[in-house]
Amino acid sequence: MPIAMKNATTADEVLAALRAGDFSHEALRAALLMRGGEQEKLFELARECRDRCFPDKRVEVRSVIEISNICRQGCRYCNMGRKRDYEHYIIQLPAFMKLVEHIYRSGRRVLLLQSGENSAQSFVEHVALCVEEVKKRYPDMLVILCLGNLSRTQYHRLRQAGGDRYILKFETSNPELYSHIKPFDKLDRRLTCLQWITEEGFTASTGNIVGLPGQTLDDIVEDLLLIKKLKLSMMSCSPFIPAENSEFGDQPMGDLDTALNTMALLRIMNPHTLMPTTSALEKVGHDGQYRGLMAGANTVTIHDGTPEDLKQLFPIYSVSRVRPTQEHFEEIVHRAGLKM
């Protein structure tokens, strides 16, 4: 049999296995390597799974406010954190409510509050008061928190304040790699936090980074299996970005196709969940966020919440980070056959 033919058969077999819900390590590994026409078929299957569960073809639109850049972690891939020298800020309540008012008036109903990891009680209490105020003024605004590892009591407080959802990515399911990329943290601790978040009643999200220095294809397969096992209703995957001024600043970028295939597999394995097309995809390759939608994503995050003068102070990924606008999303969502 000609090689091309044999490969085509193999890819079709893998796709048939995935369609049948056979998520063996081998099938997932083979699917991560698909490119060209095979990759197109993988994406088609992912879209089929998404559109079956979300027949209205609507994407969820989130507005993000980067409420503080203070971070006590020391992640090697990040340019904020305890070892970095940068100007700190915390957005205070009156300024915060002005931003929320602007976002609400633009018609947005999903607010994502992001910050560095800061478990100081005063900071967590500040965020809780902000959430309470949002819920009091705009009861139909959904609030998603992305604040990192906290104590169980702190998660409880934030949930009681009205936080609806919480994003805590485990980044990698390989415990040694985790300790290497996050020297001040442990994978076990991260997963315990995720369990607390769920038990406190948040709708929880987790996910990984693809292309971390030292990560193997088998690690990514294990990430996929862990996300499935956790049975959450949101998930995400972003390609690794070598952020300037981070310890990994001179490492190669994550591979866009591997990240997109990871997203497609996440969709096939967890069809009912929400999954963003992240700005990191746009940074790594041309039309990255459009391709993320074609690989099964159904959520977009608009950067209209953080004030201009503070954006440079939240340089996550890169100082030249792509901060997608409403117009950008309208165009790619339409092109992908979806609706905002």
Is residue 54 a contact partner of residue 28, using CB atoms and an 8 Å limit? no
Rounded to a whole number of angstroms, the minimum distance from the CB of residue 43 to ligand 5AD is 21
Beta carbon nearer to ligand 5AD, 18 or 77: 77
Nearest distance from C-beta of residue 19 to ligand 5AD, angstroms: 29
Q: Is the CB of 88 or the CB of 334 nearer to ligand 5AD?
A: 88
Asked whether the beta carbons of 167 and 234 are under 8 A apart, the reply is: yes
Residue 166 or 317: which CB sits closer to ligand 5AD? 317
Residue 140 three-state SS: coil
Q: How far is CA 148 from the centre of its chain?
A: 13
Q: For residues 169 and 291, which CB has a smaller minimum distance to ligand 5AD in the complex?
A: 169
Least distance to ligand 5AD, CB of residue 316, Å: 5
Q: Which residue lies nearer to ligand 5AD by CB, 39 or 238? A: 238
Cα separation, 303 vs 327, in Å, equals 12
Q: First-to-last CA distance in the chain?
A: 47
Residue closer to ligand 5AD, measured from CB, 49 or 242: 242
Could you give the CA distance from residue 23 to residue 12 in angstroms, rounded to a whole number? 14
- Residue 333 and residue 43: Cα distance in Å, rounded? 16
Cβ 241 to ligand 5AD shortest distance, Å: 4
What is the rounded distance in angstroms from the CA atom of residue 278 to the CA atom of residue 286?
13
Residues that bind ligand 5AD (CB under 6 A): 77-78, 146, 169, 171, 209, 238, 240-241, 243, 280, 316-317
Whole-number minimum distance, CB 247 to ligand 5AD, in Å?
11
Tokens of 288: 């990255």
- Output the smallest distance, CB 40 to ligand 5AD, in A: 25
In angstroms, what is the minimal distance from the CB of 187 to ligand 5AD?
Answer: 13
CA dihedral (193, 221, 323, 249) in degrees, to 10, reads 90
Give the residue with the Cβ less far from ligand 5AD, 78 or 234: 78
Minimum CB separation of residue 85 from ligand 5AD in Å reads 18
Cα dihedral: 139, 144, 145, 151 (round 10): 80
Residue closer to ligand 5AD, measured from CB, 47 or 190: 190
Report, in Å, the least distance between residue 37 CB and ligand 5AD: 28
The per-residue b/e assignment along 145-173, b for 16 or more CB within 10 angstroms, e otherwise, is: bbbbbbeeebbebbbebbbbbbbbbbbbb
Starting at the edge strand found earlier in the chain, the sheet holding 299-302 runs: 234-239, 203-210, 165-167, 142-146, 110-115, 60-68, 299-302
DSSP assignments along 64-93, one per residue: EEEEE-------TT-S-STTS-----B--H
Quote the tokens at residue 123: 């900071």
Name which of 97 and 213 has its Cβ closer to ligand 5AD.
213
